[in-house]
Amino acid sequence: MSDTATFTVRVPAELKRRLDQLAEAVDRSRSWLTADALRSYVEEQQWQLAEIEEGLRDAEAGRVVPHEEVERWLKSWGKKPKVPPPSCE
């Protein structure tokens, strides 16, 4: 059995009502749905922060593509000939 912890969170009454309705509709507990939503949110935020940090490291190391090159590439979409995507030097 996995290690769990309990904590309390205040939510608007309308949100609790909707969560209760959803829990009943999908035959899951309110607690399960809440834990699943929090897990998804935390994973997404951690991923996003890691990607931002990686991008900042790339920029600091000079691994960037000039805006003008990206703009030229994007403007070629749907046109012939399509410009190849720019790459870092």
Residue ranges covered by each domain of the chain: 13-64
> The whole model's pTM is what?
0.74
Cα gap 34→71, rounded to integer Å = 42
Cα gap 66→18, rounded to integer Å = 47
Residuewise pLDDT in 10s, the chain (89 residues): 579 999 999 999 999 999 999 999 999 999 999 999 999 999 999 999 999 999 999 999 999 999 999 999 999 999 988 899 998 86
> Which pLDDT does position 2 carry in this prediction?
78
Question: Backbone phi, then psi, for 87, in 5-degree steps?
Answer: -135, 160
